[in-house]
């Protein structure tokens, strides 16, 4: 066994990888990738959470550029998850996933990830802070959309909120197609959800009022 380098010590390489199944324990081709993507997702949500928290505090203190940066950086992390989900779609065959599913066992679902849930709750609560920013600056969202306000930092913030929402929905769509590709659109998930459940869950923007405002602009006078 080679001596542990400072790099290995710092990242706890051996420890992290010890949480992955060994080659001879894998029940099917692609299981390493499936387990790996699930584990990576937890790392990524763990990085997204502090960014969203910081975006919120920066909105509260009026540091809009930093709030924008945090939202954009967190959005990029969701894109990474989308890419990994798409990779799994190409990598995993339904028959291989069937074997994996048996070893996961009933009830085992990412739906129970506390980090995924926290990221969602925190993001939804961002909207109140966004509204407060507009109130404080006496700008209506409509003015930002129509270009009647030249508050460029607020326009950037509004776009960053939309981008963040979009990147989350993009993962939701990729996940939905992964589900179609692995278990079909009728099979019940390990926690009891079908794709109908997922479609219902995903039928909600994170910031519905933001998107609704666009309808307002196009409503008949
Ligand atoms: C590879 C095959 C996969 C299948 C067949 C699958 C299937 C499902 C199903 C059926 C649900 C609904 C709840 C349930 O009954 O479990 C669900 C929820 C969920 N899955 Fe997956 N999934 C897969 C991979 C992934 C991956 C790689 C991720 C990580 C990005 C992920 C993230 C989630 C999340 C976050 C939820 C909760 C959704 C919500 O309630 O908002 N899944 N999955």
- Structural domain for 81, as ranges: 29-219
Tell me: pLDDT of 85 over 80.
yes
> What domain count does the chain have?
1
Domain-embedded: residue 160 = yes
Residue 14 within a domain:
no
Q: Do 97 and 88 form a contact (C-beta atoms < 8 A)?
A: no
Tokens describing residue 205: 């923007």
User: If pLDDT is split at 50, 70 and 90, which confidence band does 174 have?
Assistant: very high
Q: Tell me the two tokens of residue 92.
A: 């995993």
Scanning 31-113, the segments in alpha helix (DSSP H) are 31-61, 64-91, 94-104
Domain presence at residue 141: yes
**Ligand 1 center to residue 93 CA distance, Å?**
16
210: domain CATH number? 1.20.58.480
Instruction: Say which residue the tokens 């070893």 belong to.
Output: 103
CB 96 within 8 A of CB 25: no
Give the DSSP letter of residue 79: H
pLDDT at position 120 is 97
**Per-residue CA distances from 108 to 38, 52, 102 (Å):** 12, 27, 10
User: Does pLDDT of 105 surpass 90?
Assistant: no
Ligand 1 pocket: which of 41, 189, 194 to mutate (most atoms <8 Å of CB)?
Answer: 189
| pLDDT, the chain, mean | 94
Tell whether 21 is covered by a domain: no
Distance CA 54, CA 28 (A): 41
Does the residue 88 lie in any domain? yes
* Residue range 107-158, pLDDT digits in tens: 888 988 999 999 999 999 999 999 999 999 999 999 999 988 888 999 999 9
Q: In the chain, what percentage of residues exceed pLDDT 90?
A: 82
How large is the average pLDDT for residues 79-94? 97
Q: What is the pLDDT of residue 103?
A: 92
Q: Is residue 194 part of a domain?
A: yes
**For residues 46-56, average pLDDT:** 98
The reply to whether 47 falls in a domain is yes
- pLDDT of 149 reads 81
pTM above 0.75, yes or no: yes
Q: What is the pLDDT of residue 1?
A: 66
First CA to last CA distance, the chain: 75
Say if CB 72 and CB 160 are below 8 A apart: yes
User: Could you tell me if residue 17 is inside a domain?
Assistant: no
38 touches ligand 1 (CB under 6 Å): yes
Compute, in angstroms, the gap from residue 190 CA to the centroid of ligand 1.
9
What is the Å distance from ligand 1's center to 111 Cα?
6
User: What proportion of the chain, given as a percentage, has pLDDT over 70?
Assistant: 99
**Cα(20) to centroid of ligand 1, in Å?**
19
């Amino acid at each position: 066994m080679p001596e542990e380098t400072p790099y290995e010590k710092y990242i706890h390489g051996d420890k992290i990888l010890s949480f992955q199944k060994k080659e001879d324990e894998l029940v099917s081709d692609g299981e390493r990738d499936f387990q790996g993507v699930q584990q990576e997702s937890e790392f990524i949500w763990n990085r997204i959470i502090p960014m969203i928290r910081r975006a919120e505090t920066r909105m509260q203190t009026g540091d809009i550029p930093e709030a924008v940066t945090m939202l954009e950086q967190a959005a990029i992390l969701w894109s990474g998850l989308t890419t990994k989900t798409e990779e799994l779609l190409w990598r995993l065959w339904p028959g291989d996933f069937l074997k994996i599913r048996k070893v996961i066992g009933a009830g085992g679902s990412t739906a129970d990830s506390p980090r995924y849930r926290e990221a969602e709750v925190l993001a939804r609560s961002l909207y109140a802070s966004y509204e407060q920013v507009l109130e404080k600056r006496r700008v209506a969202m409509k003015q930002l959309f129509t270009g009647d306000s030249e508050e460029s930092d607020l326009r950037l913030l509004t776009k960053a909120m939309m981008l963040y929402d979009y990147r989350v929905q993009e993962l939701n769509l990729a996940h939905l197609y992964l589900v179609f590709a692995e278990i079909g659109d009728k099979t019940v998930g390990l926690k009891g959800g079908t794709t109908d459940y997922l479609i219902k869950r995903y039928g909600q923007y994170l910031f519905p009022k933001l998107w609704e405002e666009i309808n307002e602009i196009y409503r008949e006078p």
